[in-house]
């Protein structure tokens, strides 16, 4: 299979300006990566869409980071497949990832808070964020990772408040 592999340290094409609004959450994107791991599954832009969806199905994930050499150039997701291939009447074996991927996707940095990740996903309508530290790709977080982290932190706060009220 062409180009589906865990990513080593990489360079990206450009950087998304980090969202620096104040956070009420203690956990950062780095805390989420500590929990879920730092492996990132990537694919070459010249791979076929069939190879991409086969890799996603094989790993039970919904996205692949598209790497052109050491540059992060896009995101290939189930949404791109549904809209740009299936609905557009293309065939997955004859279509290249580069022709249907989300180009130059938003990214986040490890030090940003989990609600900043959620806000970025909501504003940019994406469910996956590559995590970059300077020029390096250091992980990927999905909406499920962030929702789980937010629910976990809120549960802890509620337990503390209940304990406080009960004396
Ligand atoms: N309970 C949890 O902690 C948790 C975490 C994540 C997802 N989920 C559930 O799984 C289902 C699907 O999750 P989703 O919509 O967030 O996305 P998803 O199916 O794409 O992601 C599933 C997991 O794979 C990881 N992943 C996805 N693409 C990756 C890639 N290219 N490289 C490395 N890791 C990658 C994600 O970070 C996430 O941990 C949902 O029902 C969600 O609630 C649960």
pTM above threshold 0.85: yes
Regarding the beta carbon of 65 and ligand 1, being less than 6 Å apart is answered yes
Regarding the beta carbon of 112 and ligand 1, being less than 6 Å apart is answered no
CA distance 111 to 127: 19
* Structural domains in the chain, sorted by start: 5-14+25-166 (3.10.580.10)
The SS3 of residue 36 is helix
Looking up tokens 């790497």 gives 67
Q: What are phi and psi of 93, to 5 degrees?
A: -75, -20
The number of beta carbons lying within 10 Å of the beta carbon of residue 126 is 18
Determine the pLDDT at residue 2. 53
Pocket test for ligand 1, best of 77, 108, 126, 145 (most atoms within 8 A of CB): 145
Nearest alpha-carbon partner for 100 in 90, 115, 110: 90
Determine the pLDDT at residue 14. 47
- 146 C-alpha vs ligand 1 centroid, how far in Å? 9
Atom of ligand 1 nearest to the CA of 139: 33
CA distance 32 to 76: 22
Determine the pLDDT at residue 6. 65
| Token pair of 72 as six digits | 């992060």
Residue ranges of the chain with pLDDT lower than 50? Answer: 1, 13-15
CA angle 46, 49, 54 (to 5 degrees): 120
Atom 7, ligand 1: residue with shortest CA distance? 144
| Token pair of 26 as six digits | 């203690």
CA angle 22, 28, 30 (to 5 degrees): 145
Determine the pLDDT at residue 7. 66
CA distance 70 to 53: 22
């Amino acid at each position: 299979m062409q180009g589906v592999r865990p990513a080593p340290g990489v360079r990206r094409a450009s950087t998304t300006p980090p969202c620096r609004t104040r956070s009420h959450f203690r956990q950062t994107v780095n805390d989420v990566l500590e929990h879920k791991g730092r492996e990132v599954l990537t694919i070459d832009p010249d791979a076929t869409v069939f190879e991409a969806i086969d890799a996603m199905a094989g790993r039970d994930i919904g996205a692949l980071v598209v790497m052109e050499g050491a540059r992060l150039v896009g995101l290939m997701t189930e949404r791109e497949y549904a809209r740009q291939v299936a609905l557009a009447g293309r065939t997955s074996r004859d279509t290249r990832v580069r022709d249907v991927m989300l180009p130059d996707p938003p990214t986040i940095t490890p030090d940003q808070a989990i609600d900043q990740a959620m806000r970025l996903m909501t504003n940019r309508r994406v469910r996956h964020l590559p995590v970059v530290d300077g020029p390096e790709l250091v992980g990927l977080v999905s909406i499920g990772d962030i929702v789980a982290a937010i629910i976990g932190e809120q549960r802890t706060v509620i337990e503390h408040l209940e304990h406080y009220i009960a004396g």
